[in-house]
């Protein structure tokens, strides 16, 4: 029977070609949209973990209470011992210390006078130690627009927007003006090795990156750090795992009144990430369900119309002795074949398009430039992502809606008495 149906579909292209095109287009749109949403959420989670929180982080209890002020006088002490403890606590994570500090960046003339001056947000990150993975996690090689990555403690990277504002080029010397861990006044000269652009809109406009030891020299923070960030080694964010880890760790360190005791925070604790993490899957599901409902109605209607316009053919088949059940079964199988072929083509095309933009990206930097502030680390270039569900999600509406639409049309035929059916079919 299937061979007969295939021949019929090839012979009568009006009932196969157009439905396949419609299904292909709809499935393609669904897959690309799902990949687009995956790209938004995954980029947001990764960039927020990169800039703000890691997948999980440890700060002192006192620092957490005043974190908006960047109080490095309340920073973690004896960091090396604390990292050893964290590695024993969970060796599946990469633990790295970081110093977050702010101040003024001064561009001096050859005579030592100030040419330009601007506030700066700086990150002291463990880039240069032998076992550090931070260069790979930050992907700095691809983010450098001028100059090179630093290789000395007294070298820094300056964001592209900050370099333009201060008229800084690689090779220039800048002076950081701020306060030490102990509240003293500090000035420290850095050599600008390169200019970078993280493509994160307002997030990196005033940013300076320096090696951890270079920050410690400027701030007098030997063996101290603002925070210790933890990253899952595959850089895969698991909200449930981080929450359990946070709870277990904080229970261990809850039996002391020491204000410098370590306190663990999950990514969901950063800004309003908890709400976004909780509702990301729900939001994506709601959007996809709405799309699937609309698509189902379109394909359902198409299946009904396809069945109704074949009344003459159906009457002929009944007249030559086919049963209503056999006719109904053949219509369902035929619709399944059409839905499968359309879904297969749509999946292939949709994944191909998504994979292309996963590599090239979708640039919406102009929209991000309109933002003056942001709580989330959103990139200027969005990369849709091909995930495992994209290989099957399109088959759900593509096959089921088409089959159910045909079944609804066939149901009217199946339930009628034969005499009445012949009369309606004018046979």
Q: What is the DSSP code string of 276-329? A: HHHHHHHHHHHHHHHHHHHHHHHHHHHHHHHHHTTHHHHHHHHHTT--HHHHHH
In a domain, 14, yes or no: yes
Q: When comparing pLDDT for 348 and 282, which is higher?
A: 348
pLDDT in tens, 23-75: 888 889 888 888 888 887 777 778 888 888 888 999 999 998 888 888 888 99
In a domain, 266, yes or no: no
In a domain, 374, yes or no: yes
Dist. CA 6–CA 18, nearest whole Å: 15
Question: Under 8 Å CB-to-CB from 19, ≥6 apart: which residues?
Answer: 302, 306, 338, 342, 402
Per-residue pLDDT at 409: 65
Mean of pLDDT values over 376-403: 76
Dist. CA 295–CA 299, nearest whole Å: 6
Dist. CA 46–CA 54, nearest whole Å: 8
Least confident range from 181-185, 195-199, 282-286, 356-360: namely: 282-286
| Residue 65 belongs to domain spanning | 56-236
Q: CA separation (Å) from 424 to 6, 61, 330, 333, 427? A: 28, 80, 20, 24, 8
Q: When comparing pLDDT for 136 and 290, which is higher?
A: 136
Tokens of 164: 């333009």
Q: How confident is the model at residue 312 (pLDDT cuts 50, 70, 90)?
A: low
Q: Three-class SS of residue 226?
A: coil
Q: Is residue 24 located within the same domain as residue 62?
A: no
Q: Is residue 346 located within the same domain as residue 205?
A: no
Identify the domain boundary among 179, 209, 236: 236
For the chain, percent of residues with pLDDT exceeding 90? 31
Dist. CA 68–CA 363, nearest whole Å: 31
- Predicted TM-score (pTM) of this structure: 0.69
Q: Is residue 301 located within the same domain as residue 417?
A: yes
Q: Is residue 158 located within the same domain as residue 40?
A: no
Q: Is residue 133 located within the same domain as residue 206?
A: yes
Q: Tell me 151's DSSP state.
A: -
Mean of pLDDT values over 237-265: 87
pLDDT in tens, 330-362: 777 877 888 888 899 999 999 999 999 888 777
The H or E element containing residue 137 is helix 134-138
Q: Is residue 200 located within the same domain as residue 317?
A: no
In a domain, 336, yes or no: yes
pLDDT in tens, 256-266: 788 888 999 98
Per-residue pLDDT at 200: 75
- Altogether, the residues listed in the chain come to a count of 427
Q: Is residue 81 located within the same domain as residue 228?
A: yes
In a domain, 420, yes or no: yes
In a domain, 255, yes or no: no
Dist. CA 10–CA 165, nearest whole Å: 66
User: CA neighbours within 13 Å on the CB side: how many for 59?
Assistant: 27
Q: Positive or negative, the Cα torsion across 181, 186, 192, 194?
A: positive
In a domain, 350, yes or no: yes
Instruction: Say how many domains are in the chain.
Output: 2
Per-residue pLDDT at 315: 62
Tokens of 258: 């020491």
pLDDT in tens, 177-187: 999 998 899 99
Residue 427 has pLDDT above 60, yes or no: no
Per-residue pLDDT at 125: 93
274: number of Cβ within 10 Å: 15
Dist. CA 123–CA 160, nearest whole Å: 16
Q: How confident is the model at residue 372 (pLDDT cuts 50, 70, 90)?
A: very low
Q: Is residue 36 located within the same domain as residue 62?
A: no
Q: Is residue 219 located within the same domain as residue 79?
A: yes
Tokens of 194: 């390169």
Q: Is residue 321 located within the same domain as residue 378?
A: yes
Q: Is residue 43 located within the same domain as residue 87?
A: no
In a domain, 253, yes or no: no
Residue 252 has pLDDT above 50, yes or no: yes
Question: Which spans in 148-259 are helix H?
Answer: 160-166, 212-219, 239-252
Residue 103 has pLDDT above 90, yes or no: yes
Q: Tell me 78's DSSP state.
A: S
Judge whether 187 and 220 are in contact, CB under 8 Å. no
Q: Is residue 14 located within the same domain as residue 96?
A: no
Q: Mean pLDDT over all residues of the chain?
A: 81
Q: How confident is the model at residue 10 (pLDDT cuts 50, 70, 90)?
A: low
């Amino acid at each position: 029977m299937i061979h007969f149906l295939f021949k019929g579909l090839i012979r009568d292209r009006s009932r196969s070609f157009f439905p396949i095109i419609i299904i292909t287009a709809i499935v393609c749109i669904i897959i690309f949209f799902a990949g687009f949403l995956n790209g938004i959420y995954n980029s947001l989670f990764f960039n927020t973990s990169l800039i703000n929180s890691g997948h999980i982080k440890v700060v002192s209890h006192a620092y957490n209470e005043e974190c908006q002020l960047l109080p490095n006088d309340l920073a973690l002490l004896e960091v090396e011992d604390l990292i050893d403890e964290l590695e024993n606590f969970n060796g599946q994570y990469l633990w790295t210390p970081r110093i977050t500090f702010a101040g003024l960046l001064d561009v001096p003339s050859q005579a030592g006078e100030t040419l330009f001056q601007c506030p700066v947000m700086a990150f002291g990150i463990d880039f240069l130690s032998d076992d550090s993975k931070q260069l790979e996690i930050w992907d700095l090689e691809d983010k450098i627009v001028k100059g090179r990555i630093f290789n000395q403690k007294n070298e820094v990277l300056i964001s592209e927007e900050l370099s333009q504002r201060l008229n800084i080029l690689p090779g220039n010397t800048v002076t950081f003006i701020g306060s030490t861990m102990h509240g003293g006044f500090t000035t420290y000269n850095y050599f600008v090795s390169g200019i970078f652009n993280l493509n994160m809109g307002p997030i990196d406009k005033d940013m300076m990156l320096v090696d951890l030891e270079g920050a410690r020299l400027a701030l007098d923070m030997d063996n101290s750090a603002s925070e210790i960030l933890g990253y899952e080694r595959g850089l895969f964010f698991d909200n449930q795992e981080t929450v359990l880890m946070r709870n277990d760790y904080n229970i261990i360190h809850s039996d002391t009144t020491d204000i410098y005791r370590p306190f663990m925070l999950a990514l969901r604790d950063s800004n309003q990430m908890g709400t976004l993490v909780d509702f990301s899957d729900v939001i994506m599901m709601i959007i996809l369900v709405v799309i699937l409902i609309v698509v189902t109605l379109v394909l359902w209607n198409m299946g009904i119309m396809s069945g109704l316009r074949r009344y003459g053919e159906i009457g002929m088949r009944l007249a030559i002795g086919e049963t209503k059940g056999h006719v109904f079964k053949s219509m369902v199988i035929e619709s399944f074949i059409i839905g499968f072929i359309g879904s297969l083509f749509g999946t292939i095309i949709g994944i191909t398009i998504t994979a292309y933009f996963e590599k090239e990206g979708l640039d919406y930097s102009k929209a991000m430039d309109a933002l003056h502030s942001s709580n989330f680390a959103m990139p200027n270039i969005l990369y849709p992502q091909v995930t495992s569900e994209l290989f099957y999600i399109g088959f759900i509406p593509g096959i089921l809606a088409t089959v159910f639409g045909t079944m609804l049309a066939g149901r009217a035929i199946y339930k009628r008495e034969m005499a009445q059916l012949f009369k309606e079919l004018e046979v």
